[in-house]
Structure 1
Amino acid sequence: MEAQLEQIREQQKATWNKFSAGWRKWDDFTMDWLRPMGDEIIRSLHIKPTDLVLDVAAGTGEPGLSIASLAKDGKVVITDLAEDMLAVARDKATAQGIRNYETVACDVCELPFPDDTFDAVSCRFGFMFFPDMLVAAQEMRRVLKPGGRLAAAVWGPPTQNAWITAIMGTIGQNIEVPTPPPGAPGMFRCAGPGFLSELFRQAGFQQVTEKEITGKLRCGSNDTYWQFMNEVAAPVVMALSKADEATREKIRQEVYARVDQQYPDKQAALDYGTVVVSGTK
């Protein structure tokens, strides 16, 4: 791996390990929010009871743990860069009585599995952060059995995702936030029309399909929204760390006003838009 890509990988590993406590605290809330994309991934994979499945960039364990409940006579290998995130997944599996799984901390661009190993591969909101997305897709295809399926979810364009633009847009109006170079890992890196589908085709996948899924992040109040974003959203925390207390409070008030203007019901139910893409080896 190139030195620059390796540096990105190590920075990401450190970030996700750092934020694992916040993801543990908000796990029920977050997994409920992201469940529709996980359900669509699972639907696309056509899981059979005996399947061996790989869940890449699984974080706290989804949709891998849900897949394990379907592949009762098979197994799910749950992977992520951050060992501290996988620790949450293991605790959840224990609480749910799930045993047909294992966790492996690894890099998607160097998957430690033989060719033609898995019946299916899932990846929910990982692709846009991979240092080399094409290599990642090729690695997923390599470890799939012939005829195996990959399904992945990514965020749609900023205009569909007020849940993040409401706060990041307000931050950007108050403090200088560095603009990442074009193509750098980030939330909307895969948001272009057909972007991930074309990447799948380049990696050699066939019968590529995509489906748009929209919905709302239902926070119930501005206070909950602010607290959630400040405990799980790394870009928010990193940007606000550069602001003094007065500026942070100004940003908070402006975020509340912005949300109330966009969503007058006072429930802080903010829009999101995603795309789920699947393909066959």
Structure 2
Amino acid sequence: MTVSFDPIGFKRTTRAQWEQAAEAWHRWGPAIEDWLGEATATMLRAADVGEGDRVLDVAAGAGGQTLAAARLVGPNGHVLATDISPALLAYAARVAAEAGVSTVETLEADGEDLSELAAGTFDAAISRVGLIYFPDQHAALRGIHRALRPGGRCSAVVYSTPDRNAFFSIPVGIIRRRADLPPPLPGQPGPFSLGGPGVAEQVFAEAGFYDITVTTVPSPVRMPTAAECVRFERESFGALHQMLSGLDEPGRAAAWQEITEELSRFEAPTGFTGPCEMLVVTGTR
């Protein structure tokens, strides 16, 4: 039997799961910023975000990198945070308001369809661990390309390869085996969909970007214990919940127990350090 990928169903499920996980993703915000802080700073530098800029944040989530961009653009700049999940965007708006930042605006939008944005109106575009989950990454990047002014830069944080991201690839592998899931289809979205050699560069080039660079950023996940890392993933990683949906509750519990046991190998007296490596991919419009 031929297995086909349903992009519409995937996005519908993804939206529903992020609506459910939004509170947890926001609650884990400090840990996420510790984990992704260096990659985020690298992305913002690569996108050349500065005073007075207009920045488009695609798949903004709960807004950690949105706020970082807003602080760089200052009171004369503007950051538009878009996401498919209104619950996530509500937290992004809340984070900005609590920080006293009034230059952040949110827009519920499918990152593959940014047609309602005026062409050539943004100086920079960013996306932190969002582009990897788009079924049509080419459409998303073409939309971003259209929204940028000539010379504007797009920068995205993505995972590299599974072997460099054991904190995530081990849970993915265990769940895939226990749920009897087939291997990802070519071009199917997922955490490592842009991590292979040359893959991200090709996707950016096909969307019309030039002067494309890829910067590797070691991004270890540091937690007190492996169990704490599993709790983080269990509460807030929508991709894992999507994969687990075919298992019953005892099956899901057994999967999480095995994941905890496997990730325990990365514990030391100083705590848990989960291997993770991000790529910051940047291109010019």
Q: Normalised by the size of structure 1, how large is the TM-score? A: 0.91
Secondary structure (helix, strand or coil) at the match of 2:36 reads helix
Secondary structure (helix, strand or coil) at the match of 1:19 reads helix
**1:15-45 deviations in Å (ceiling 9; x for gaps):** 2112112212212212221111111111112
CA contact (8 A) 2:83 2:107 kept: yes
Query: Could you tell me which residue of structure 1 aligns to residue 73 of structure 2?
Result: 71
Query: Could you tell me which residue of structure 2 aligns to residue 52 of structure 1?
Result: 54
More deviation in 74-83 or 16-25? 16-25
CA contact (8 A) 2:153 2:282 kept: yes
**Is 1:236 aligned to 2:218, yes or no?**
no
Distance across 1 between alignment mates of 2:257 and 2:139: 43
Structure 2: runs of 5 or more not aligned: none
Out of 13, 34, 41, the residue aligned to residue 39 of structure 1 is 41
CA contact (8 A) 1:67 1:76 kept: yes
Out of 165, 172, 188, the residue aligned to residue 168 of structure 1 is 172
**1:253-272 deviations in Å (ceiling 9; x for gaps):** 43333223344447221010
With over 3 angstroms needed to count, the CA separation of the structure-2 counterparts of 1:114 and 1:243, relative to structure 1, is closer
Out of 112, 125, 130, the residue aligned to residue 109 of structure 1 is 112
Shift of 1:169: 2.8
**1:78-129 deviations in Å (ceiling 9; x for gaps):** 1111100001111111111110110001112221211111011111111111
CA contact (8 A) 1:260 1:266 kept: no
What's the Cα RMSD here?
A: 2.1
Distance across 1 between alignment mates of 2:125 and 2:11: 21
Secondary structure (helix, strand or coil) at the match of 2:281 reads strand
Distance across 2 between alignment mates of 1:80 and 1:249: 30
Query: Could you tell me which residue of structure 1 aligns to residue 132 of structure 2?
Result: 128
Secondary structure (helix, strand or coil) at the match of 1:84 reads helix
Q: State how 1:123-162 maps to structure 2 within 5 Å.
A: 123-162=127-166
With over 3 angstroms needed to count, the CA separation of the structure-2 counterparts of 1:93 and 1:25, relative to structure 1, is same
Aligned length: 279
Secondary structure (helix, strand or coil) at the match of 1:33 reads helix
Query: Could you tell me which residue of structure 2 aligns to residue 88 of structure 1?
Result: 91
Query: Could you tell me which residue of structure 2 aligns to residue 28 of structure 1?
Result: 30
Shift of 1:175: 4.3
Secondary structure (helix, strand or coil) at the match of 1:14 reads helix
Query: Could you tell me which residue of structure 2 aligns to residue 257 of structure 1?
Result: 261
Shift of 1:68: 0.7
Query: Could you tell me which residue of structure 2 aligns to residue 9 of structure 1?
Result: 11
Distance across 2 between alignment mates of 1:254 and 1:107: 35
Distance across 2 between alignment mates of 1:175 and 1:204: 39
CA contact (8 A) 1:54 1:122 kept: yes
With over 3 angstroms needed to count, the CA separation of the structure-2 counterparts of 1:200 and 1:239, relative to structure 1, is closer
Structure 1: runs of 5 or more not aligned: none
Instruction: Give the % identical residues.
Output: 30
Secondary structure (helix, strand or coil) at the match of 1:108 reads coil
